């Protein structure tokens, strides 16, 4: 029994050790309190709605989110706009559809079932418009970067003047959290850039936090139900384990041996 | 098993059993005499069966929604994560299940190493186990390719390129494996096919593994042959069933924690970037469970010899029953082997660590020393130890040390708990 615990602890230690080695080269990221971390972590609805606003007004001019649909905005565990609001949001975008009966493509207002519209027709168009750099799709961006939300949150606030001796090419910017410190995206956020409906003051820090929360939800839309189910599953397993443990003790007490 | 006498009580049962002795089999499995001193390290066989079944069941569901096409694979995985009912749960169980499977198999293998379970008359069980382990690695590697992320693509490129080290025909073999001149759609579809096939091969081998086990019966922490059935054994049901069940539940708690709270911690972030043949990731690293072998591969400067070293590191295990010359099975009675055992454990952990690091400078040096030691352990230390080591006296039966107050009491008890 004791050995078993030792093994469990050892293996967990080993795995986390492995994980740390993968992330050994990262710099110290800015920290903030994320509402979605922890056993009962949930998204902050307000932050998600504000984050969506930042995405639409700022990020979406270059970054696509091809795996999201407008209906997701009204789904449980997300920003939870009302269905009417989500419909209005969808309708505010022009979506290319077709071909119609005449064989022509046409545009129409968006519907809930439409995917988020793409800022560029294709990768080449995106690169041509951004000095050769492709603005990555942001649907799973948080999961596709080593530092996750902390990295994105820090990066948005990490723009600085380059240190003496570092020369930057045209269209390249200095960011202290970027791998290699050189980034092709210019600093996008400045205080008061967007006007939040709920009266929250739109500081760079606030906007970074909101949009990062939004990106976390976009990458893990079922995070809330995962946490809820996980808690139930683990409590259930623990109770069952205790019951089975006592059954085992009872059964093994029939013979003269220790277990 | 062949000498098993069993007559069902009911008439129908007898009629059926005379034609297909399934009831005899069921009775054998229930009554199967098991050493009563098995400790919790012995519960991992059952845990591994659970892991295999979990992977097969979740894998079947994933295969219903997954699209094996280079242009659609990544999208279909995101479709599973977002729009399939509980798709995220199924996929996270499957992805973390692979890691849990390897965690359990490593414990299972190192248990065998400690208690000498590979020694006569259990060599065939052991060799089947090694084949299962090899197939598991193949299945895991190909499974990791299926989401078609950056690490999938480049991992597949690196590993398949290993075959190009074979002289003369190497390049041809790689082209044949790829089904083209680079890792592309044909590679993905064949990996998917094989990834679907291999678990069923493993399942078949597991049946053989258990069958071969049931001929001599289980080894045990004291490592002596026991009479079956006797005072030293308990029937498999209910004693071992409930104990395996308890251990399995403990294992599932750890499993659930990974699935529900840190589902991506064991994967690499780059695999959430869609495969791009034009962009190479900064570091190409395999999954954690392959890292020790990756370290061995990279520690040899020559490509062909590196591949040979990596394969030998696995295949050498198959020769273990003959490399270990000691007649005593359990390390409990082998004071020197016990120490070398723990050094080997540390050695493999170190190899795993440097496998995750860039192959340069100090890391490379450590990898080379650890690789050399790995082979030294199996090729020199084990054979010599069998002749040189002064082993402790072994008890005559499992009950004897406890009732008779032999000098090994403390040691035997300590290992049992």
Cα of first residue to Cα of last residue in chain B, in angstroms, is 30
* A122 contacts on B by Cβ (under 8 Å): none
- Which pLDDT band holds residue B3 (cuts at 50, 70, 90)? low
**Cβ–Cβ of B263/A226 closer than 8 Å?**
yes
* Cα-based distances in Å from B268 to A143, B187, B378: 9, 21, 33
Residue A151 sits in the same domain as residue A234: no
Rounded mean pLDDT, B255-264: 97
What's the token pair of residue B139?
């299945």
Number of residues in chain B: 417
| pLDDT score of B280 more than 60 | yes
Q: Report which of A215, A210, A224 is spatially closest to residue A68, judged by C-alpha positions.
A: A215
Tell me the DSSP string of A6-45: HHHHHHHHHHHHHHHHHTTT---------TT-STT----H
Residue A149 sits in the same domain as residue A49: yes
pTM over 0.90: yes
Residue A181 sits in the same domain as residue A233: no
Packing angle, helices A204-219 and A45-57, rounded to 10: 100
| pLDDT score of B417 more than 80 | no
**Cβ–Cβ of A8/B250 closer than 8 Å?**
yes
Taking only the tens place, the pLDDT of each residue in A216-244 is 999 999 999 999 999 999 999 999 999 99
CATH number assigned to the domain comprising residue A214: 1.10.760.10
Residue A196 sits in the same domain as residue A232: no
- Counted domains in chain A: 2
Residue A55 sits in the same domain as residue A145: yes
Residue A212 sits in the same domain as residue A139: yes
Residue A130 sits in the same domain as residue A201: yes
**Cβ–Cβ of B238/A251 closer than 8 Å?**
yes
Range of the domain at A237: 222-253
Residue A170 sits in the same domain as residue A186: yes
Taking only the tens place, the pLDDT of each residue in B214-232 is 999 999 999 999 988 888 9
d(CA B331, CA B415): 10
Q: Has residue A28 been placed in a domain?
A: no
* B291 contacts on A by Cβ (under 8 Å): 18
d(CA B99, CA A228): 23
Residue A154 sits in the same domain as residue A186: yes
Place of tokens 């008779």: B404
What's the token pair of residue B76?
């279909």
**Cβ–Cβ of B107/A7 closer than 8 Å?**
yes
Q: Has residue A91 been placed in a domain?
A: no
Residue A55 sits in the same domain as residue A163: yes
| pLDDT score of A19 more than 80 | no
Rounded mean pLDDT, A80-99: 96
CA of B109 to nearest chain A CA: how many angstroms apart? 14
* B238 contacts on A by Cβ (under 8 Å): 251
- Which pLDDT band holds residue B2 (cuts at 50, 70, 90)? very low
- In three-state secondary structure terms, A92 is coil
**Cβ–Cβ of A15/B256 closer than 8 Å?**
no
CA of B84 to nearest chain A CA: how many angstroms apart? 11
Report the residue from A1, A21, A145 with minimal CB separation from B40. Answer: A1
Q: Has residue A19 been placed in a domain?
A: no
What's the token pair of residue B405?
């107050």
Residue A193 sits in the same domain as residue A213: yes
Q: How big is the A-B interface in CB pairs under 8 Å?
A: 124
d(CA A56, CA A102): 33
CA of B356 to nearest chain A CA: how many angstroms apart? 7
Taking only the tens place, the pLDDT of each residue in A129-162 is 998 899 999 999 999 999 999 999 999 999 999 9
Residue A57 sits in the same domain as residue A179: yes
């Amino acid at each position: 029994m004791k050995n078993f615990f030792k093994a469990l602890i050892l293996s967990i230690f080993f795995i986390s050790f492995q994980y740390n080695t993968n992330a050994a080269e990262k710099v110290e990221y800015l920290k903030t309190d994320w509402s979605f971390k922890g056993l009962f972590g949930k998204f902050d609805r307000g932050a998600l709605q504000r984050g969506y606003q930042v995405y639409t007004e700022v990020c979406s001019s270059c970054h696509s989110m091809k795996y999201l649909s407008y209906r997701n905005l009204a789904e449980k565990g997300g920003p939870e706009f009302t269905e009417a609001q989500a419909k209005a949001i969808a309708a505010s975008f022009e979506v290319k559809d077709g071909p119609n009966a005449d064989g022509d493509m046409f545009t129409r207002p968006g519907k809930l079932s439409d995917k988020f519209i793409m800022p560029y027709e294709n990768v080449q168009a995106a690169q041509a418009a951004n000095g050769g750099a492709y603005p990555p799709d942001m649907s799973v961006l948080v999961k596709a970067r080593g530092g996750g939300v902390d990295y994105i949150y820090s990066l948005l606030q990490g723009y600085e003047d380059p240190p003496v001796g570092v020369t930057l090419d045209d269209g390249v910017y200095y960011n202290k959290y970027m791998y290699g410190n050189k980034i092709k995206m210019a600093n996008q956020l400045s205080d008061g850039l967007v006007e939040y409906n709920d009266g929250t003051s739109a500081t760079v820090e606030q906007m970074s936090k909101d949009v990062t929360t939004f990106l976390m939800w976009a990458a893990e839309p079922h995070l809330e139900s995962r946490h809820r189910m996980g808690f139930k599953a683990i409590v259930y397993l623990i109770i069952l384990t205790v019951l089975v443990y006592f059954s085992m003790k009872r059964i093994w007490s029939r013979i003269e041996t220790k277990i | 098993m062949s000498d098993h006498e069993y007559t069902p009580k009911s008439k129908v049962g007898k009629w059926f059993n005379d034609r297909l002795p399934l009831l005899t089999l069921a009775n054998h499995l229930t009554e199967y005499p098991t050493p009563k001193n098995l400790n919790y390290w012995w519960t991992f066989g059952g845990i591994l069966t659970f892991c295999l079944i979990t992977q097969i069941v979740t894998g079947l569901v994933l295969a219903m929604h997954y699209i094996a096409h280079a242009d659609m694979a990544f999208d279909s995985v995101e479709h599973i994560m977002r729009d399939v009912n509980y798709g995220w749960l199924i996929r996270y169980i499957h992805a973390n299940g692979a890691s849990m499977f390897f965690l359990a198999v490593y414990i299972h293998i190192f248990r065998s190493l400690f208690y000498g379970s590979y020694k006569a008359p259990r060599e065939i069980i052991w060799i089947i186990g090694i084949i299962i382990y090899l197939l598991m690695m193949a299945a895991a590697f190909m499974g990791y390719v299926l989401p078609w992320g950056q690490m999938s693509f480049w991992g597949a490129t690196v590993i398949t390129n290993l075959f190009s080290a074979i002289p003369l025909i190497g390049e041809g073999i790689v082209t044949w494996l790829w089904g083209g001149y680079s890792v592309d759609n044909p590679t993905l579809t064949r990996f998917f096919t094989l990834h679907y096939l291999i678990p069923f091969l493993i399942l078949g081998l597991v049946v053989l593994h258990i069958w071969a086990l049931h001929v001599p019966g289980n080894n045990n922490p004291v490592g002596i042959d026991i009479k079956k059935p006797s005072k030293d054994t308990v029937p498999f049901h209910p004693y071992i069933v409930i104990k395996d069940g308890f251990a399995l539940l403990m294992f599932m708690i750890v499993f659930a924690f990974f699935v529900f709270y840190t589902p991506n911690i064991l994967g690499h972030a780059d695999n959430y970037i869609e495969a791009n043949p034009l962009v190479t990731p900064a570091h190409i690293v395999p999954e954690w469970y392959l890292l020790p072998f990756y370290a061995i591969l990279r520690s040899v400067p020559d490509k062909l010899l590196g591949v040979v070293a990596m394969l030998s590191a696995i295949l050498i295990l198959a020769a273990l029953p003959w490399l270990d010359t000691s007649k005593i099975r359990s390390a409990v009675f082998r004071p020197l082997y016990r120490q070398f055992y723990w050094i080997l454990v540390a050695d493999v952990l170190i190899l795993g660590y440097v496998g995750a690091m860039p192959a340069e400078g100090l890391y490379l040096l450590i990898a080379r020393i650890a690789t050399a030691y790995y082979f030294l352990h199996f090729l020199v230390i084990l054979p010599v130890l069998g002749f040189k080591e002064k082993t402790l006296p072994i008890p005559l039966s499992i009950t004897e040390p406890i009732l008779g107050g032999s000098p090994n009491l403390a040691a035997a008890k300590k290992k049992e708990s």
